[in-house]
Amino acid sequence: MPTVAELDAALLASIPPRWGKVAMVLGKAAKAPGLFARSEEEDYELLAERLEQLVASGRVVAQGDLKQWRASEVRLAGDGSQP
């Protein structure tokens, strides 16, 4: 089981400089070397929960309902993009 720091690092490295779909971010993060032996449904749910925490902490900005992975987007906070 990866640590919170490992999950956060994989997610933050997977977020594009501009808005990117949550589904794409989760898929890319799940493939981070050494994070998961193989990607299972539970792994994506765990990453999605951490992403929500990153949004709540203000490190990541979101638009749309984060539960709707294909219909919501995220970007790093403070990158200067317009919402």
DSSP state, residue 50: H
* Token duo for residue 76: 């790093």
pTM surpassing 0.85?
Answer: yes
Q: Evaluate whether 51 touches 66 at the Cβ level (below 8 Å).
A: yes
Q: What pLDDT is recorded for position 38?
A: 79
In tens digits, what is the pLDDT along the chain, a chain of 83 residues?
899 999 999 999 999 989 999 999 999 999 999 999 877 889 999 999 999 999 999 999 999 999 999 999 999 998 654 44
Q: What is the pLDDT of residue 79?
A: 61
Domains and CATH numbers, the chain: 4-76 (1.10.10)
pLDDT for 80 equals 53
First-last CA distance in the chain: 34
| pLDDT of amino acid 44 | 95
CB neighbours of residue 3 within 10 Å: 8
Listed in order, strand segments (DSSP E) in 1-66 are: 20-21, 60-63
Contacts of 67 (CB under 8 A, 6+ apart): none
